[in-house]
Amino acid sequence: MVEFVDLLNIPIQLLYYAPYHSKYNPIEGCWGILDQHWNRGAKLVDVEVMLFWVSSMTCKGLYPILSLSKTVYQKGISLTKKAMKRVESRLQRNPLLPKWDIFIQPL
């Protein structure tokens, strides 16, 4: 996100929902539809079936935009402590909600 902020040259404020508060997150409404399919016996046996069922998820009349990514990402990649300190120095955390409210200024 820090690189993205620098690329766009605009500040971004990240507001996260705390755990177990998914009812406030609009995207979570879509997953309820998929859950209903599974409860009725639908099985995700291959990619085509999965995309079919996911395409039926709606939230307030909106359908998802689907694209299948076949990119294989490397596992176990992490920043060094020094690099992470540079990232952390760019994050302005709200003292009342330091885990859930983060502001990033561009360089």
Query: What is the residue type of 19?
Result: P
Over residues 11-38, the pLDDT tens digits come to 999 988 777 666 666 667 667 777 777 7
State the CB neighbour count (10 A cutoff) for residue 24: 8
Q: What is the pLDDT of residue 7?
A: 96
Q: Rounded to the nearest 10 degrees, how much is the dihedral formed by the CA atoms of 80, 4, 6, 14?
A: -90
* Structural domain span for residue 38: 2-104
Structural domain count, the chain: 1
